[in-house]
Amino acid sequence: MLTRTEAEETGQLLRDAKARAGDRLAWARTVRSREIADATAALAAPESYGVVLTGDVSLGKSAVASALLAELDGSAHTVRLRATTAGAKTPYGALAVLLARLPEDAQTDPGSIMRGILQLLASDAGGRTAVLSLETSRNLDELSIATLVNVMVTGTAKVVLVADRASELPADFHWMLSEGRLREVPLAALAPEETLQGLRSLLGGIVPQTVGFQLHAMSRGNPQVTLLATAELLQRGALDATDGVWTLASDAEMSGIRQIDDLVRAHIERQPERIRTIVEALACARRIPLPRLVAVFRSEDLAQMEDDGLVTVDDAGRHSVALADPLVAEVVRGWLSVPRRRELRALLIPDGEPPVGATTALELLGLAAWARECHTLLSPRHALAAAAASLRLFDPRFALDCLEGIDREPATWPTVQHLRARALLLLQLPQQALACLDQVAEDELALLGPAAAAELTATQAEAMRWVPDRAGQVEELLTDARARLLLGPGSGPGPDPEVRRAAAVLDLADFEHRAFAGDYRRIVDRLEAMVADPDPADDEIRLRAACILMEARTMLGREQEGLALLHEVAAQLGRNQGSAPLRQAFAVRAFSVLLFNGHWRQALALLRSPSQVSLERLRTTGASLELAAGLACVYAGRGHDALGPLLSALALLERRPSAALLGPAYAATAFAYAQQGDAPASRKWLEKLDRWRPQGSYQARSIVEFCSQMARRWIGDPQAASRLVASARQDIANGRWNQAGVKLLGATVSAHLDDLRLLEDVCAHRQGQLAELALLLARGTRTGRLEDLTAAADLAAGLELDAVESRCTAVALDRAREMDDAAAVRRLRPRLEALAGRLAVLPLTPRHAPPVLTDREQEVAALAASGTSNRRIAELLGLSVRTVEGHLYQIFAKLSVSTRGELADLL
């Protein structure tokens, strides 16, 4: 529950965000700062006549033009002009605001009008640059065009033109573009990162990456739509702040936002009625084959719509058609009544849904959604196919919707319940998933083929391992399934393909279960055999096994081999694309491989890949992505960078709790605050962790153990290091050399010789830069070899592990002082000071405090370092030359330097 102060802060955050969401010019300056800067620079160029802002309808070109003029106010005289459709038929229609100010005797003929306007602009500018802004530039009459050309050519004023496309400009302006006198500044949709940065400026507080990317996906990167949607969602309460972290309701959508609705209406209602009908039909169908559309609508209308950018036609095979802007489709659907949707459905598919085999996945999903919007039921065959397609696209809620109302039939019931269970697992509801599968009777299960039955068993095993009191039953479940499915007819020499695939499915389920438990050693040889099989039963299963193998190799200390396999699988996925579940399995395992090889930046980049930022993917697993980003930063020792995503993950988890994720989130947040030196905040999250019931995978438990004990060590718990060592010994006993090394690297900050020797032994069983770094640090700390310590610091710097680098440097600096190695001290001290400037708290400080100069010595040192002579220093400070020499002797001795150049380098 929020305290009064926290509630007040949250209320103020909401009020401020709502106020900023109403300022479209400030928003344009934020998200279009680069384009505005480009336009400003172009206007400032002496040879420039002006700029042309271009971009699709509704991209906010007018707001950018207004923001540009606002930037110029004060330094330039600005005039806003507007050309209307009616004005195009009126002489000087676009210049009416200027024409009205001319005296009557200056309006007798075109020549006098031209001179009068030029004089008026020059007079108003008063020596400043004059800038004319003109929207709807295709509605210009001939006299307005001629006058504007003259204004530009004579240098009287520069122009800011707004147009959808440069080709729409009057012909007289084209030569200016071709010669570079007018510069085009195109406005495109924002990239996800640009939308996120804009929202962070707009909303304040912490805007999770997943929330920003969801709003980007909903608005398709259109900044104007993003602003309107954000303002509306704030008013509805669908976008809300919790402890300063913004969260988005899972059912938030764009429909019903009046201003967006008005934008779309203004665009669509300009079209003829027959075009509007096609737009409505495509909005309902989402995507439909071109031949079916041509059978109902005129082909020339469809061709014109494609030319106008209203529709897109898939060039591959089927030539399916969809509206170019999915936002238009979403808004148009909101206009239509149920009778109108049914009317359009009867028009396009009078004979009902086409056969499942005759539709693509996207067409099938569109038909399923259309059926639901018409309040009609799909056939069971279509419903099952649509649910399966939804799951492949990470839309479990729609999959559950598709399965609603299907009657229990023995032939289809196992498949229905299997799909429901898969959807519930995506929603992180394993107990409900098990309940669905438990409803399948043995006689119904017997009707499935071996491969389908194996897949259902694999899903049951996955759900079981997430339920603590059922996890112990997984091995027995898989053993029974093998006996039932693989020892029957067709399982002898040369079994049929379906039996082979069933065996592969059960093997994969076993691999996943063992990896979940951290028992990599027992499966690695079988994984190697499956991945190397030249004739796999199923190539996707082989690739999923490869994903587990690259993680297993890494955990077992074969980090370089794990990385090599990662790159090999990534290349295969790049060539074959791969299904969405396979790509998701790869992303999860690849993140682990990269993180525990020390490549935390690549792990972060993986989280931002296009496959991770689809709308449904973000809605389903947003908390997991935020948590992963926080873990990458906290393992890298960057607590400040970790707090944003970690607090975001916790805010999202509070809305849709996942008990398995809460423990790692609590522990990582405690560690991040400890790295910042905030012991009270760290203890707060450790107390929450103490109330958490340990569960989940080995990886999750290992993360909890490492982060929580490291947090306790940083805030002064004397037993934390020994607990980390004990945990590392368990990993060693199970062959998990990588995790043992990571834990020992953290545990050995307070260097105990036995623990350092143990770390050296563990590193001898590992590969890669992180292992080499730990080995050099352990050996260098134990033996005092400066070469090892500095080499370890260099490796840490290459991996951007600032905290580890500072530890290596601190130990090396102590050793250099013990050895009276002045040159090494001079190298190491500035390095440690630079790291101290980047880290809130050093994990280890040198035992020997740095020498302290007196105030007078500091004054003398500063002057000497700047090249000032002893005599001049004496004059400036009112000292004798002998006294200055004495001070310099003390300074050189304390700082271990022998020349003024070395002193300058040090200071």
Top-level class of domain 855-906: mainly alpha
% pLDDT > 70, the chain: 93
% pLDDT > 90, the chain: 45
Tell me the whole-structure pTM to 2 decimals. Answer: 0.83
Q: Which residues pair with 185 in a beta bridge?
A: 53
Mean pLDDT (whole number) for 80-109 = 78
State how far the Cα of 723 lies from the Cα of 651, in Å rounded to an integer: 30
Mean pLDDT (whole number) for 235-264 = 82
The per-residue pLDDT for 496 is 82
Each residue's pLDDT tens digit, 395-451 = 899 999 999 988 899 989 999 999 999 999 988 899 999 999 999 999 998 899 999
What contacts 479, CB < 8 A, 6 or more positions away?
Answer: none
The per-residue pLDDT for 904 is 72
Question: Does residue 333 have a pLDDT over 80?
Answer: yes
The per-residue pLDDT for 541 is 94
Nearest CA to 641 out of 803, 516, 774, 532 is that of: 803
What contacts 759, CB < 8 A, 6 or more positions away?
Answer: 741, 744, 745, 748, 774, 775, 778
pLDDT class of 905 with cuts at 50, 70, 90: low
* Contact in structure between 331 and 225 (CB atoms under 8 Å): no
The third-level CATH classification (topology) of the domain covering 33-186 is Rossmann fold (3.40.50)
The per-residue pLDDT for 105 is 81
State how far the Cα of 846 lies from the Cα of 833, in Å rounded to an integer: 11
pLDDT class of 850 with cuts at 50, 70, 90: low
Question: Does residue 22 have a pLDDT over 70?
Answer: yes
Mean pLDDT (whole number) for 567-591 = 87
Mean pLDDT (whole number) for 608-637 = 83
Each residue's pLDDT tens digit, 545-569 = 999 999 999 999 999 999 999 999 9
State how far the Cα of 897 lies from the Cα of 70, in Å rounded to an integer: 57
Each residue's pLDDT tens digit, 662-701 = 999 999 999 999 999 899 999 999 999 999 887 789 999 9
- For the sheet containing 158-163, what is the strand order? 76-82, 129-135, 158-163, 50-54, 182-186
The residue type of 90 is: T
Q: Which residues pair with 161 in a beta bridge?
A: 52, 134
Can you list the pairs that 510-516 forms with residues at least 24 positions away whose Cβ atoms lie under 8 Å?
Answer: 510/478, 511/545, 511/548, 512/458, 512/461, 512/462, 512/548, 513/461, 513/465, 513/474, 513/475, 513/478, 515/548, 515/551, 515/552, 515/697, 515/698, 516/465, 516/697, 516/698
Each residue's pLDDT tens digit, 149-164 = 898 999 999 999 988 8
What contacts 331, CB < 8 A, 6 or more positions away?
Answer: 254, 255, 260, 261, 264
Helix axes 786-798, 822-838, angle to 10 degrees: 30
What contacts 50, CB < 8 A, 6 or more positions away?
Answer: 42, 43, 131, 132, 152, 158, 159, 160, 161, 182, 183
State how far the Cα of 521 lies from the Cα of 523, in Å rounded to an integer: 6
Average pLDDT for the chain: 87
State how far the Cα of 406 lies from the Cα of 420, in Å rounded to an integer: 12
